[in-house]
Amino acid sequence: MDNFISGIRRLASENKKKIALPEMDDVRMQEAADVLESEGIAIPVRFSKDSLNPEKIKQYADEFYQLRKSKGVSEEDAFSFMQNPLFYAAMELKHGEVDGLVAGAVNTTANMVRSVLYCIGIDRRYRIISGAFIMLVPNCEYGEGGVFVFSDCAVVPSPNPKQLANIGISAAELAKGILGVEPRVAFLSFSSKGSADSPEVEKVQQAVAIAKELNPNIFCDGEFQVDTAIIPEIAKRKVKDSEVAGRANVLVFPSLEAGNISYKLVERLSKGRAIGPILMGAAKPCSDLSRGCSAQDIVDSAAVVSILAHQRQISSE
């Protein structure tokens, strides 16, 4: 676990990116910014209500009004939004003044997602924002030596089959970009390959078919119970001819309820770490945070966002 953390911090430091931290009134954010700077992991760009540029507030408010007036946002509303460091920082990211955004220590996930939707926008490849965690499970032989990606654990309460498929594809991108491995994506259920029959199972089966059609280069399969997905001995008894069963390193949950409960159980009972959620599907790299996060959690999320920002820069050149 420590090796993985030091590895992502080192990788981020090789191509330091500017990461917006818009919750500088919180002591955890202050501590994280100091660590990012002192250890050279990323360049923290600190925002608080008193530090915002008045000229940019006006510029961004005018732009925000044009973007949102059809949704009932008034000029006064727009100005109020831009006095909020979170929405101001999101506009900074939209304009390329920073490379990534990390927040949520104070703001709710709902507010964080609004800042992304209203200011930054959605990656057209996925058309949905989801919250993926990098899970580090100590003394675990499954996944990639105890490292997994879990999604969606933060945003979409009840995804339909196409949304679920895109959640899986974007989670695979995170696994490849940060874990540096070939993603093996398991779509989870209470059934393994038709062992139960219900609308919930059918939804997952449809999602698998859509994911394979949308991106045939990704190893994905399901529906699987979680033990079938990650334990080779059980997979051999239940499933034949699968590149994923028993070897999954990306776990896609059928609902937000299942995903959120699962990541918290794994994190707390195993004394593991949950990095994120990384907001996959955003047009630019962003991470939400749990309001119970530590300064270390903020540092590690910023490192992941910094790496993703560099990878996007490379892919666009």
Which of 164, 219, 212 has its CA nearest to residue 188? Answer: 164
User: ∠ CA(303), CA(305), CA(308), 5° rounding?
Assistant: 110
**Do the Cβ atoms of 94 and 12 come closer than 8 Å?**
no
Dist CA 229 CA 276 (whole Å): 22
Same fold, 2-121+282-316 and 130-269: yes
Give domain limits for the chain.
2-121+282-316, 130-269
CATH of region 2-121+282-316, choose from 3.10.350.10, 3.40.50.970, 3.40.50.10950, 3.30.559.10: 3.40.50.10950
pLDDT reading at 47 higher than 80:
yes
pLDDT reading at 292 higher than 90:
no
pLDDT reading at 317 higher than 80:
no
Fold designation for 130-269: Rossmann fold (3.40.50)
* Mean pLDDT across the chain: 93
Give me 103's structure tokens: 């927040």
CB burial class (10 A; 0-12, 13-18, 19+) of residue 134? Answer: buried
Residue 195: which pLDDT band, with cuts at 50, 70 and 90?
confident
Residue written as token pair 């995170």:
174
pLDDT reading at 314 higher than 80:
no
* Average pLDDT for 74-98: 94
pLDDT reading at 196 higher than 80:
no
> In this predicted model, what pLDDT tens digit does every residue of 251-291 receive, in sequence order?
999 999 999 999 999 999 999 999 989 999 999 999 999 88
Please confirm whether the linkage preceding 233 is cis (ω < 30° from 0). Answer: no
pLDDT reading at 315 higher than 80:
no
pLDDT reading at 189 higher than 90:
yes
